[in-house]
Amino acid sequence: MKKTQQDNIWGPEKFNREMKSLGELTSSFGLPRLIITGFLVLLFILAPVAGVDFFTQITNVANRFSWNAVMVLAMVPMIHSGCGLNFGLPLGLVSGLLGATLSIQFGFTGAMSFVMAIVIATPFAFLFGGGYGWLLNKIKGGEMMIATYVGFSAISFMCMMWLLLPYTSPTMVWGMAGKGLRTTISLEGFYDKVLAKFALDCNKICGINLVIPIGTIAFFALLAFGMWAFLHTKTGTAMTAVGSNPVFARACGIDVDRIRLLSVIMSTWLAAVGILVYEQGFGFIQLYTAPNNMTLPAVAAILIGGASVNKASIPNVIIGTILFQGIVTMTPTVLNSLIHMDMSEVIRMIVSNGMILYALTRKTEGSK
């Protein structure tokens, strides 16, 4: 008996083709990433069941994405140049913290304090990034291990310097001693919500409790577009070539060390801007050991987004930051409401550290 056209359309061959296409899609996006995405979607579905406001949670995820995305973006230049994951991110964070505290010390307020914080942080980022890049050029092959030591050493050194540097602003120094910076400094009256205040409040438009931080997201989009445009320039193409095959790049006349140095400086500067963006959303400057909590989440986010140790893109930054911050934000809230116990910090630590562990141990094609 001959097969009809309908049999050919819905028969085993068609089914096999569909399953093959589904397998290719799963392979390209990554099964673990699909599982994480599915878990995040499940949390959003469970939120109303647990009595958690759905749109409030979307607002929280959007806020955390906008605060952290620039620090994740800082990973891209060094990955492209073959320097690997930037575990030396604290150097950039320290540059940003110096810019923030000095802008307050010099008496700048409002939006100008944010602008001046970036301006003041820039030479520090160039100086620290230049020294950091020079060091990485001397130890090719062990960049990520050395970067980890550099990052922790920078934080430890600054723990002493925050007490010794001659700051005098009463907003920042310890009240009793009159010297040494406080652990946490309020940004009220300075650049608190300088970007986040530009937001779309859907409650005023359609009555739902949803606020989209347009200002902060637009600032990230501007930096992301700048990075994308740079990677499509002659220098950006050379940076990608150095990361893909440094021997071939050198044979083509590209100064490999100079390109690597440039990528480290760019990454350090983006980290400095990133911590300032985070602070304006959070509302406080956190000093001393606080930068320790920024590096691994940024590294984990870009890996979860699909990057490897030598290949990264802007979509990797966006997807990874949304997935990581979404899971970290939603899981404690939903589970607390379901079990009726306040275990938010315990759950947050377990989930965030678990995702970091997964990201750092997973194998990627680019890292083989």
Report if residue 149 sits inside a domain.
Answer: yes
CA atoms of 272 and 58, how far apart (whole Å): 27
- The answer to whether residue 303 scores a pLDDT higher than 90 is no
pLDDT for residue 207: 73
Establish if 67 belongs to a structural domain. Answer: yes
Please state the rounded mean pLDDT for residues 233-256.
89
Residue 24 is assigned to a structural domain of this protein: no
Q: What is the pLDDT of residues 72-93, one digit of tens each?
A: 999 999 998 888 888 888 999 9
- Please, which pLDDT band fits residue 234 given cuts at 50, 70 and 90? very high
Would you say residue 9 has pLDDT above 60? no
Distance CA 129, CA 266 (A): 8
Torsion angles phi and psi, residue 309, rounded to 5: -75, -10
- For 19, counting Cβ atoms within 10 Å of its Cβ (0-12 exposed, 13-18 middle, 19+ buried), the class is exposed
Domain assignment of residue 224, yes or no: yes
Which element (helix H / strand E) includes 199? none
Give the confidence band of 363 by pLDDT, cuts at 50, 70, 90.
very low
The residue-averaged pLDDT of 82-105 equals: 91
The model's pLDDT over 322-353, given as tens digits with 9 standing for 90+, comes to 988 888 888 878 877 777 666 666 666 776 66
Q: Would you place residue 41 in the very low, low, confident or very high pLDDT band (cuts 50, 70, 90)? A: confident
SS3 139: coil
Considering the domain boundaries, does residue 240 fall inside one? yes
Estimate to the nearest angstrom the gap between the alpha carbon of 285 and the chain centroid: 18
The predicted model gives 173-201 an average pLDDT of 86
Residue 154's SS3 state is helix
- The letter for the amino acid at 358 is Y
What mean pLDDT value characterizes the chain?
83
Count other C-beta atoms under 10 Å from residue 149's C-beta.
11
- pLDDT for the residue numbered 21: 61
Task: Indicate whether 10 pLDDT > 60.
Answer: no
- The predicted-structure confidence for 150-175, as pLDDT tens digits, reads as follows 888 999 999 999 999 999 888 899 87
Strand 284-286 and strand 211-212: pairing?
unpaired
Please give the average per-residue pLDDT across 21-27, as a whole number: 58
Residue 222, both tokens: 């501007």
In terms of pLDDT, which residue wins out, 364 or 298?
298
What's residue 233's pLDDT?
Answer: 92
Count of domains forming the chain: 1
Residues 188 and 128: their CA atoms lie apart, in Å, by: 29
In the predicted structure, residue 147 carries a pLDDT above the cut 90: no
The arithmetic mean of pLDDT across residues 5-15, rounded, is: 55
**Inside any domain, residue 158:** yes
- Kindly report which listed range (94-108, 135-149, 260-274, 288-302) carries the lowest average pLDDT score: 135-149
What is the C-alpha to C-alpha distance for residues 253 and 249, in angstroms, rounded to an integer?
A: 7
Q: Answer whether residue 306 shows pLDDT above 90.
A: no
Under DSSP, the state recorded for 2 is P
Average pLDDT over residues 274-287: 92
Name the one residue in this structure whose structure tokens are 């083989």. Answer: 368
Q: Residue 153's closest CA among 253, 295, 304? A: 295
HSE-up (13 A, CA, CB side) for residue 54: 8
Cα(319)–Cα(49) distance, integer angstroms:
26
- The pLDDT of 184-199, averaged and rounded, is 89
Which residue do the tokens 């950039």 mark? 92
- The rounded percent of the chain whose pLDDT value lies above 90 is 36
Instruction: Calculate mean pLDDT across residues 275-304.
Output: 89
Indicate whether 81 belongs to any domain: yes
* pLDDT of 1: 45
Q: What pLDDT is attached to residue 24?
A: 58
Return the number of other C-beta atoms located less than 10 Å from residue 290's C-beta: 17
Residue 208 has pLDDT above 50, yes or no: yes
255 phi/psi in degrees, rounded to 5:
-80, 95
Residue 368 in any domain: the answer is no
- For residue 36, which amino acid is it? I
Mean pLDDT of 239-268: 90
Residue 63 sits in which domain range?
Answer: 54-193+211-289
Distance of CA 244 to the CA centre of its chain: 23
- Report whether 142 contacts 87 (CB < 8 A): no
